[in-house]
Amino acid sequence: MSESGANHKFAFYLGCIAPNRYPGVESASIKAMKKLGVELVPLKGASCCPAPGAFGSIDLAVFYAMAARNLVLAEQMKMDIALVCNGCYKSIWEVNHKLKHNKDLRDAVNEVLKEVDMEYKGTINVYHTAELLYNDKFIGVEKVRDSVTNPLTGARIAVHYGCHLVKPHKDREFEKEVMLNTEHPMWMEELVSALGATPVEYRNKMQCCGAGGGVRGYDIVHALDITNEKLINLKEEKVDALTDICPFCQLQFDRGQIEIQEKFGVTYNLPVLHFAELLGLAQGMSPQDLGLDLHGISCEPFLQKVL
């Protein structure tokens, strides 16, 4: 691999919340991954994945067709997809997997796609960027460590894995077997260590953020109560920041803290950063370059510790 040229190229599937609420996740991913030899090319005309909970609950047949349309756009580019959101992974990866293995579903989807001059062929794969970072076939922990110019020394950082990247593990097919451990995974902690920070574990770390399945829209207090339980467990460990790999979880923890303040009267002020933002910081990007000022909860206390 030459220093300038990328040795891996992916169609970058953005989803909704990253580009439209946390654009720093988008810009940090593109820049940080480039430094690691992975080029992310825009997937033109992509739509919502669509949201596996809110949309899938209505009609799964339409859900498959809509996700397949996004997959076909990447097939036409002859590129595998990389994405930054667990919810998108559930839609895009899982529909790709289901359509590849079930002829009845594929035929039903293609009948509809024919109306828009498209055909799902099943020629590409789908990856989450966290998976690309961890798997040394693409990048690997060592290369991530070597790319760090501003180690996040001294920062205590907890990981929120989220649900839809890894669960249900019996349906997933990661090359790295440790990623199939959903009871007590440590691979994200390895990545946090690679940035120079101290990974911190906390009680019930694999619990859901509470936002998924349309529950955030259906019963916000119920959703926030789940989030609040996680925040209580995080507070016990006195962490400086929480890192996630899903913009929807990030929205629930970040903006959710403001809503928890309003509805429950509890204040945490816990900075919440997508791993791409954390990686950008460790590679020397400024908080302004990462759009950290757009976060609901100020990242300042954490930034003062690491910059």
Q: How far is the CB of 148 from another protein (least distance, A)?
A: 21
- Residue (24 or 271) nearer to another protein, CB: 24
Q: How far is the CB of 217 from another protein (least distance, A)?
A: 3
String of DSSP letters for 96-150 = HHHHHH-HHHHHHHHHHHGGGT--------EEEHHHHHH-TTTS-HHHHHHT-SS
Q: How far is the CB of 106 from another protein (least distance, A)?
A: 14
- Residue (55 or 275) nearer to another protein, CB: 55
- Residue (51 or 194) nearer to another protein, CB: 51
Task: Please report whether residue 164 would count as binding another protein according to CB under 8 A.
Answer: yes
Q: Is the dihedral of CA 258, 264, 268, 270 positive or negative?
A: negative
In this chain, which stretch among 141-149, 192-200, 204-212, 234-242 interacts with another protein, using CB under 8 A? 204-212
Among 165, 188, 17, which residue's Cα sits nearest to residue 91? Answer: 165
C-alpha pair distances (Å), 268 with each of 22, 26, 57, 155, 302: 20, 26, 33, 17, 13
Among 103, 13, 10, 105, which residue's Cα sits nearest to residue 50? Answer: 13
Tokens standing for residue 9: 């190229």
The answer to whether 192 touches 243, Cβ cutoff 8 Å, is yes
Task: Please report whether residue 266 would count as binding another protein according to CB under 8 A.
Answer: no
Task: Please report whether residue 168 would count as binding another protein according to CB under 8 A.
Answer: yes
Task: Please report whether residue 188 would count as binding another protein according to CB under 8 A.
Answer: no
Residues 102-131 within binding reach of another protein (CB under 8 A): 112-113, 115-116, 118
For another protein, the binding residue among 125, 135, 150, 207 (CB under 8 A) is 207
In this chain, which stretch among 13-21, 136-144, 255-263, 267-275 interacts with another protein, using CB under 8 A? 13-21
- Residue (20 or 267) nearer to another protein, CB: 20
Give CA–CA dist 194/255, Å, rounded.
28
What are the residues whose beta carbons fall under 8 Å from the beta carbon of 77, sequence distance 6 or more? 11, 41, 43
For another protein, the binding residue among 95, 126, 130, 163 (CB under 8 A) is 163
Q: How far is the CB of 162 from another protein (least distance, A)?
A: 9
Which residues are registered as beta bridge partners of 128? 83
Task: Please report whether residue 264 would count as binding another protein according to CB under 8 A.
Answer: no
Residues 21-80 within binding reach of another protein (CB under 8 A): 21, 23-24, 26-27, 42-48, 50-62, 65-66, 69
Give CA–CA dist 115/26, Å, rounded.
32
The answer to whether 90 touches 84, Cβ cutoff 8 Å, is no
What are the residues whose beta carbons fall under 8 Å from the beta carbon of 227, sequence distance 6 or more? 209, 210, 211, 252, 253, 256, 260
Q: How far is the CB of 194 from another protein (least distance, A)?
A: 25
Q: Which residues bind another protein (CB under 8 A)?
A: 14, 16-17, 19-21, 23-24, 26-27, 42-48, 50-62, 65-66, 69, 112-113, 115-116, 118, 163-164, 167-171, 182, 206-208, 210-215, 217-219, 222-223, 225-226, 229, 288-291, 294
